A and B are shown apart, each in its own frame.
Chain A
Amino acid sequence: MTDETPHGSDDSADAPPDAGSPVDTPSDAGSPVDTPSDAGSRDPPTSATDRGPPSSPVDRDTLAELRDVRKIYHTGGEEVAALGGVDFAAEPGEFVAVMGPSGSGKSTMLNVLGLLDTPTSGTVLLDGNDVTALSERERTRERKRSIGFVFQHFYLIPTLTAVENVELPTLFGDDETARERAISLLSRVGLGSRLDHRPDQLSGGQKQRVAIARALINEPRLLLADEPTGNLDRATGADVLEEFHRITDEEDVAIVAVTHDPQVYRAADRTVFLVDGEIDPEGAETLGLVGLSDAGGEP
């Protein structure tokens, strides 16, 4: 945790030796990013995954990317590196799980990716644009435009109905069709008959589906989920994950989910392991998940 020595990105960018692991390192050397800081220094990633077509040097645009991102907190005169040089990329239509022990920097990574937090150093790219240095206000606008969030505790507003909660991100702004979109989204997640229910009249799984609909209202390209199944029982969690699959497949949205839940790990297209703020290519073994990898609910 107190690891503050900057680890070179080359550590994590090295090809994972274990082909059996679902770990996938960022892979987009060929992506048409037009930022000047395009890291030519990085090794061309060589991701060997156990699922999907072994990704050849990328054929799709990278949607969101972290390049050598570090996040250092100062607490009590001590510097704590929550992220120590992370490289990560997500492609459209991809469902990536991020796993790691508590305090490994998963949430920080998600917050940086979701423009809720700014890195101490490194670059954040969204749709090929460098968004690291955006102002608070621009980041907020960008979040509204292209990022959806799903939280462990749902965070629905208890005084608003389901449909109003879904509309929430559009509420402050002139959006004529928001109500229709909210209704159609709720119908798609199976809550068409619960539009005017308040959150306390919904079950946990229904709440999380409302939250997913809320995350999708502005048609984002990237959906970030923090322990999306953390407060749900197994079957309900499976429903939510199924919903995630539908979103990645039908809407071509990338989902990055931080989780402890092996269920999510199995459902994801690939999994990134974080240990002490760095990507650990052998995380699957570390966490004892190797045996589970074949049971994945892959579409």
Chain B
Amino acid sequence: MSDASTDGGHGNGDDSADPDATPGLLARLFRAFPALLMARRNLSRNRLRSALAVLGIVIGVLAIASLGMFGTTLRSGATQQLGDIGNELQVSPNLDAGVETLTDRDIERIERASTGATAVVPIRQDRKLVSRGREQSAVTVYGMENPGDLYAARDGRIPERLRQGAVVGDSLADRLELQAGNTIRVGNRSYRVAAVLEPQEGFSLVNPGSGVIVPPGDVAGDGWGQVVVTAESGSQANATAAAIREGLNRREQRVTIFELSSVTENIGQFFGILNAFLIGIGSISLVVAGVSILNVMLMSTVERRGEIGVLRAVGVQKRDVIRMILAEAALLGTVGGAIGALLALGAGFVLNQIVLSDPLVTLQPINLLYLVLAFAFALVTSVLSGLYPAWKAASSDPVESLRSG
């Protein structure tokens, strides 16, 4: 042991300290956020395990965001199929207030109020016997001046103003084997068939497919039973409805207005619920991912017991240990969330290309909101899952931790 008396000279020989300790940007960043440095290094220690935890988050985010976007696509597709039903209004006399029919003056006021409308079609109706040869049938007879504003013909031409002749609905025409140019009897009058209507698609307030349209003067009664107003869009229909109410219902409730947009609103609400349901299912997968992060963090903190004990021994405070482990969890969540959001965006493009043939629909605000929400949910889930392992690691007695090492 006499060699020990060479008085501490040993080891100082290769004393070539690198003075090039100018810290790079990354180094300075880590210096500012040491928890991040430790977290990143710790996660790189068991790459496969970290990758699997990230994968869980990716799947969770992908599930939430893409199911949300799937719902949006479903809604857009359904709205397209339902067509323009949201842009029709039906104005009827307010029977509750004793108004039985709408007068010509009412019609004028409705027309004046409907500046944004594409068509205002007053209708009166009755039931009459329609016959051709020996075949006859009791049908609804509509009196309309301008049916061409609402309907299209499959045969013949609908005159701009219907003064004479009749327009026959498609199913009645099929039943009586009618085409333009034929003659029919409606009640006790004879009409030349001017046009046969196209079958109605979707949903409409007045469907004369199994009836016949004749000039209004030929239908009994002096008032109008209803007025159908159409507009360019649902919102314009809404505005028109408000204007009509303002114009006719100010002094007394003369008319009631039925807006189809209330139906579409209900349909929209339904899709909202469907969306929430889909996202709820997606969230379950993210919660599962959170549990897997909890598991990974618990395992890794148990493995690192000794190291954490040393950290505590050399004077690292509990809250810094907590911060470090939470940073690990947050890092897993951030990476997983970002990858998941990107994949979901890609999935949205593919889905909208297939369903709506327009991938750019994916970029609508509601979808971006889903992406952000899914990412935020991933981050929050990860950090919450890291809380218990972090607390457990920080609170374990360093003496115990070091002994077990």
Contact = CB atoms under 8 A, between A and B. Distances in A.
A184 interface: yes
A229 B180 CA distance: 111
Contacts of B21: 179-180, 183
A149 B310 contact: yes
Q: Interface centre among A147, A171, A183, by most B CB within 10 Å?
A: A171
A51 interface: no
A189 interface: yes
Interface stretch (A38-46, A62-70, A157-165, A275-283): A157-165
B315 A153 contact: no
Contact of B15 (A137, A147, A190, A241): A190
Given A117-B399, A195-B18, A209 B311 contact: no
B318 A136 contact: yes
Contacts of B26: none
Nearest to B17: A187
A266 B399 CA distance: 28
Contact of A249 (B6, B8, B14, B37): B8
A148 B313 CA distance: 9
A155 B399 contact: no
A54 B1 CA distance: 23
B35 A172 contact: yes
Contacts of B1: 238, 263, 266-267, 295-297
Given A155-B306, A155-B405, A180-B21, A188 B41 contact: no
B244 to A, nearest CB: 70
Contacts of B131: none
Contact of A192 (B7, B15, B323): B15
B316 interface: yes
Contacts of A226: 402
Give chain A's interface secondary structure class: helix
A145 B402 CA distance: 20
B11 A116 contact: no
Contact of A243 (B11, B37, B312): B11
B10 interface: yes
A183 B88 CA distance: 80
B13 A116 contact: no
Interface SS, B side: helix
B44 to A, nearest CB: 7
Contact of B14 (A116, A155, A193): A193
A270 interface: no
Interface residues of B, number: 47
B399 A190 contact: no
Interface string B1-28: 1111111101111111111010100000
A187 B19 CA distance: 11
Interface string B366-405: 0000000000000000000000000000000011001101
A84 interface: no
Interface in B304-348: 306-307, 309-318, 320, 323
Contacts of A214: 314
Contacts of A233: none
A125 interface: no
B42 interface: yes
Nearest to A144: B315
- Best-surrounded residue of B15, B44, B45 (most CB of chain A within 10 A): B15
Contacts of A114: 313
A57 to B, nearest CB: 29
A184 B17 CA distance: 7
Nearest to A267: B4
Contact of B316 (A111, A151, A155, A172): A172
B313 A190 contact: no
B34 interface: yes
Given A147-B315, A160-B38, 18 more contacts: A107-B403, A111-B399, A116-B313, A140-B317, A145-B315, A149-B313, A151-B402, A153-B306, A155-B306, A169-B315, A171-B37, A172-B34, A183-B19, A183-B21, A218-B315, A242-B7, A243-B8, A296-B1
Interface of A: 107, 111, 114, 116-117, 136-137, 140-145, 147-149, 151, 153, 155, 157-160, 164, 168-169, 171-172, 179-180, 183-184, 186-190, 192-193, 195, 209, 214-215, 218, 226, 238-239, 241-243, 245-246, 249-250, 263, 266-267, 295-299
14 contacts: A140-B315, A141-B315, A155-B309, A171-B38, A179-B23, A186-B17, A188-B11, A188-B15, A190-B14, A190-B15, A193-B16, A209-B11, A242-B6, A297-B5
